[in-house]
Chains A and B, each alone.
Chain A
Amino acid sequence: MNLITNPELKKPSRDGFGKALLELGEKNPDVWVLTADVSESTRTHLFAEKFPQRFVQVGVAEQNMAGIASGIAACGKTVFISAYGVFSPGRNWDQLRVSICYNDVNVNLHASHTGLTVGPDGASHQALEDLSITRCLPNLIVMSPADMEETRKAVHAAAATKTPCYIRTSREKTPVFTTEATPFEIGKANVYHEGKDVAIFAHGIPVYESLKAAESLKKKGIDAAVIDCHTIKPIDKDTIVKYAKQCGHVVTVEEHQINGGLGSAVAEVLAENYPCPMKRHGVYDTFCESGSARELLKKYMLDAEGIEKVVEKAIL
């Protein structure tokens, strides 16, 4: 089965969110959507136009949005709230913790504009800590899909669970390389490239960049496995341990701080189950800067070329 393609098509993963909401809205009259003054950029405007009765515009008030969503969900609804990652879950963490997770209601947070690739808006708008602050919350499932199609599936999967979920997406247009046939199961990592020398675990935009890096590494005789960890919590322990054993070296790659994100999650699994040489690659405890998405990926070595160099160094 052809799970991935080499695509011409480039779309932002947030488009997958907007598309899935429309599909869910048609299918399920109990789906509600809220946004905090960013309906178009989160793609929730599509749902709003079609289902105005089930759409709530809360204005610039992310804390209130989380609470309102909790109340709606307490009435048996499936709720999605959507804003930029720096504001939600950045601004409303306490509400996420108590009103949503402790209540254990079916509220799903969608963050668009996460990671470095927000680009020109600069450091204040680059959500690079969101996984650290969500991964620690009981009852919460945490996902970071690799492209638009995978995001669409993640949104459907989130709607099908009864517990709260967090879904992280990007503003930048990137290749849609997974297909309708690519499997998606919460908590089950997808292996997109087999290898025996080093295992690259990634999520979000860096997955495709890692695949390109793996192709290039192959020409140098380095056989890199590339694993898409679209679910950060619960983390897929079995796949991580299996590929650590198979490859002996592990590199994590993410558009996130190296502290608290996928790198930490993988390190926790390996430290307890199969300690082995490992490198956490991402943003190294710093605020970044303005620039185009491509320029920033290059500068912070999160494009294919940068990842290739980091992997080579890691397995020396």
Chain B
Amino acid sequence: MMKRITNIKKLNLIANTIRQDVVKMLYEAKSGHSAGSIGLADIYTALYFSVLYHDPQKPDWPDRDRHVLSNGHVCPVLYATLANAGYFPKKELMTLRKLGSRLQGHPHRGTLPGIENSSGPLGQGLSQAVGMALVAKAEQKKWRVYCMVSDGEQQEGQIWEAAMLAAKYKLGNLTVIMDRNNIQIDGYTEEVVPLEPLTEKYRAFGWHVIDVDGHNIKQIIDACNESRAVYERPTIIIAHTIPGKAVSFMEHRFEWHGKPPSKEDMDKALAELENVRKLIEEEEI
């Protein structure tokens, strides 16, 4: 089983590496989704290096925690995280979206170790996570299900169908993390079709809701731990994130939802991320 890292400085450094990997991968691929992927680096670091019970050497270990990615377009951050955790060689990251690659443009179950579900069309992952949690509950297994959803996909009706069912079956073994980055392809979520008040909506649907800063790794880990202690209802962690976080020209900009960096963009982004890295390294523990 993978050893958990609890040192926040170490985790911040891993998140920085993942961000740099994502920038390089997307430049290499010449297409893909930059802002969401970069914005999720802290959450994915928390999940795979501190929260999940898993073993990169045994991706099919029956008692592993499951991570279901519903908004499959942010898969570059999942791929980079899996490679850094040791699921497959890091050099393979540069094959993203290329012919013959195991790193498909949207994740495909069975192609790459560590991928629990195929996704792409929004709104489908939460149902699959609920299905897995139902099995674990019925068979009294200890493993949990962690599901990543986007904010934009809350506009899909299927999400709310799944939310109702998770509450019906009191799935205390299900933790959902929402990437609340406020952008979608056509603009800001609150302008395209308003989602708020999300916290109240999920509470009304019978969920335990925790709002966190999605770039504060300690808060993310604490919220995941809190969700483990809630037995009678599923938990959703609404993680408030900045799309493109730590790359200044991408931050908050919906234009970067579905676009890759150019060579110039990449060089600029990597230089900025190196500066951030130095700042993290200089921090007192």
Interface size on B, residues (CB 8 A): 31
A37 within 8 A of B: no
Cβ-neighbour of B116 out of A32, A67, A73, A74 (below 8 A): A74
Cα–Cα distance between A69 and B117 once the two chains are bound (Å)? 12
Contact B132 A71 (CB under 8 A): yes
> In the bound complex, how far is the Cα of B124 from the Cα of A70, in angstroms?
10
Q: Which of B20-28, B76-84, B159-167 contacts A (4 or more CB under 8 A)?
A: B159-167
Which residues between 76 and 105 of chain A lie within 8 Å of chain B, taking CB atoms? 77, 94-95, 98-99, 102-104
Q: Which of B135, B138, B162 contacts A67 (CB 8 A)?
A: B162
CB-defined contacts of B135 to chain A, threshold 8 Å:
32, 71-72, 75, 77
Q: How many A-B residue contacts, CB cutoff 8 Å?
A: 98
Q: With A54-B138, A74-B132 as given contacts, are A68 and B162 in contact (CB-CB < 8 Å)? A: yes
When C-beta atoms are compared, the residue in chain A nearest to B145 turns out to be A71
- Asked whether, in the complex, the Cβ of B127 is within 8 Å of the Cβ of A70, the reply is yes
Give the secondary structure class of B's interface: helix
Mark out the residues of chain B between 132 and 182 whose CB falls within 8 Å of any chain A CB in the assembled complex. 132-136, 138, 157-158, 161-162, 164-165
The stretch of A41-49, A56-64, A284-292, A298-306 that contacts the partner chain: A56-64
B147's closest neighbor in chain A, by CB? A71
Contact B157 A94 (CB under 8 A): no
In Å, the complex CA distance between A84 and B121 comes to 24
A68 touches B127 (CB 8 A): yes
> Which has the most chain B C-beta neighbours within 10 Å: A61, A64, A70, A95?
A64
Shortest CB–CB separation between residue B119 and chain A, in angstroms?
7
Q: A59 to B157: give the CA distance in the assembly, Å.
A: 14
Interface string of B108-120 (1 = CB under 8 A from A): 1110000011111
With a cutoff of 8 Å between Cβ atoms, the chain A residues found around residue B128 in the complex are: 67-68, 70-71, 74, 99
Contact assessment for A67 and B127 in the assembled complex, using a CB-CB cutoff below 8 Å: yes
Asked if A124 lies at the interface with its beta carbon under 8 angstroms from chain B, I say: no
Flag whether A296 is at the interface (Cβ < 8 A): no
Contact-residue bracket for chain A: 20 to 34
Q: Give the Cβ gap from A54 to chain B, nearest Cβ, in Å.
A: 7
Contact between A59 and B134, CB atoms less than 8 A apart: no
Which residues of chain A are within 8 angstroms of B130 by Cβ–Cβ distance?
64, 67-68, 71
Q: Give the distance in Å from the alpha carbon of A108 to the alpha carbon of B109 in the complex.
A: 18
Residues of A within 8 A of B129 (CB): 71
- Which residue in chain B gives the minimum CB-CB distance to A66? B127
B113 CB → nearest A CB, Å:
15
Q: Which of B126, B162, B164 has the most CB of A within 10 A?
A: B162
Residues of chain B contacted by A5 (CB below 8 angstroms): none
Is B119 in contact with A56, judged by CB distance below 8 angstroms?
no
Q: List 16 A-B contacts (CB under 8 A).
A: A32-B135, A63-B161, A64-B130, A64-B162, A67-B124, A67-B158, A68-B131, A68-B165, A69-B131, A70-B127, A71-B134, A72-B131, A72-B132, A74-B128, A75-B136, A103-B117
Task: List the interface of chain B (C-beta within 8 A of A).
Answer: 68, 108-110, 116-121, 123-136, 138, 157-158, 161-162, 164-165
